[in-house]
Amino acid sequence: MSVVADSRRHRGNALPKYYAIRTVAESLEVSTRTVRRWIADGRLIAHQVGAVVRVSERDLQAFLALHREG
């Protein structure tokens, strides 16, 4: 299952989808260390609540759009 889904389903009162760093790493076939590096460098936006760090679906889509090869 791909973590990148159609963001149009978040209209109305639905909460946005958030992903754990491990989920992002597995979906993109990179290490969690790479995802953490992208976050530290400011290339990927993450949200921290207490000790929990998550990446929103919208921020992941924006990251992928900026970094796609082609």
CATH code of the domain covering residue 38: 1.10.1660.10
- Residue 44 DSSP symbol: S
List, in order, residues 6 or more apart from 34 with CB less than 8 Å away.
25
Task: Specify the pLDDT at position 2.
Answer: 47
Task: Specify the pLDDT at position 70.
Answer: 62
What's the pLDDT tens digit per position in 8-46? 555 566 888 999 999 999 999 999 999 999 999 999 999
Domain interval for residue 41: 17-67
Question: How many structural domains comprise the chain?
Answer: 1
Question: Would you say residue 33 lies in a domain?
Answer: yes
Question: Would you say residue 34 lies in a domain?
Answer: yes
Residue 30 and residue 22 in contact, taking contact as beta carbons nearer than 8 Å: no
Question: Would you say residue 53 lies in a domain?
Answer: yes
Question: Would you say residue 50 lies in a domain?
Answer: yes
**Per-residue confidence at 56, pLDDT binned at 50, 70, 90?**
very high
Question: Would you say residue 52 lies in a domain?
Answer: yes
Task: Specify the pLDDT at position 12.
Answer: 64
Task: Specify the pLDDT at position 28.
Answer: 96
Task: Specify the pLDDT at position 8.
Answer: 52
Question: Would you say residue 12 lies in a domain?
Answer: no
